[in-house]
Amino acid sequence: MTQETSSRKAAHLVLSDGRHFSGQAMGAGARVTGEVVFTTSMTGYQEALTDPSFAGQILTMTFPLQGNYGVTSYNNESNRIHARGFVVRELTELPSHRNSIMTLDAFLANQNILALTGVDTRSLTRHLRSSGVLMGTITVDETVEEALRRLRAEPNYETGNYVEEVTTASIHQYADSDKLSESGGIISSDSPHIVLVDLGVKNNIMRLLETRGCRITVVPHNTDAAGIANLTPDGILLSPGPGDPELLEDVTETVKSLVGSAPILGICLGHQVVAKAFGATTYKMKFGHRGANHPVIDTVTGQVYITSQNHGFAVDATGLSSDMQVTQVHLNDDSVEAMEHRTEPVFTLQYHSEASPGPNDTEYIFDKFLTLVKEGI
């Protein structure tokens, strides 16, 4: 144990069922509360922390060593950390990577995020798999009993509309209109125009569209159908995001009105909202799918993909319109992973094709979307 580690303040992670885990505080702050979830990804802590889909949650990494390559200037998936707290087994204090600009601890402290190191995260993960995800709190200045009483008086994760916290504040263009695409073309007013409904978008979705020559307009989640139509989109993308899709009835109604006006792609939370627009319901999973190693099978072609996922809710296809067909399912639990409309250019996927699983198994999704967009122009 180094002198720095030994000087950290003692802290606790207390779960709503009374179970607690002790360790040392890192980052900044004295108390934080959120839904405690785990991800099985071995790398990508910077991308995960800045993923808006983790808003309202305390993130646990199952892989024991974190912070070993530090923090770079280019791996953020948004403009800030969205996870409310962070739990790890071991924090590396001397990162080793030529592009590192700071330690993980400094990154957390700079954004006032409280975290916990020295925790048996495998034991914590096993507990969450058995009990299901739980509300929890990281605390530095309370006893376990005091923290548990406070935690049980606080609202559950399901009651919060976290999309309102992470969506863009205003309509704006992504990047510069004269930026070169990967294909060597200049993105201009003649480029395919994608209107991206921001439910908690990750930067790499926009990067991948841009490298395919798209002009992108990002709009807040509550932009109505008329507001989107006035932007004359060639394609509409509903982004991933945090929280319960049942709280997004206004977005669901917007999707209903937009079907037939332009090709539509829904990713993760966007997938769930589109499913609701076609009659399906959603449900909360026991511990969700979070990680970069989830196997998905295409029920039409038989192709298996390794996917990156981050969601705690899933689509129940009961009630789904016969106009929509389920085209992919999860190989572990048969949950709905993709859908496609039989006659309209509308399709969805539950996983994150932009997150480089496989590493590029599912980037074809963006090419498929752009093919539909260009056919309609």
By annotation, the residues acting in catalysis are: 268, 352, 354
Cα–Cα distance measured from residue 259 to residue 108, given in angstroms and rounded to the nearest whole number: 42
Record the tokens describing residue 152, joined without a space.
């049980």
Dihedrals φ, ψ of 340, to 5°?
Answer: -150, 135
Record the tokens describing residue 305, joined without a space.
């993909």
Count of CB atoms within 10 A of residue 51's CB? 29
In contact, 229 and 262? CB cutoff 8 Å:
no
Cα–Cα distance measured from residue 294 to residue 292, given in angstroms and rounded to the nearest whole number: 6
Cross-sheet strand order for the sheet of 172-173: 172-173, 215-220, 193-198, 235-238, 264-267, 346-349, 336-341, 324-330, 281-298, 304-316
Can you state the percent helix, strand and coil of the chain, rounding each to 5? 25, 30, 40
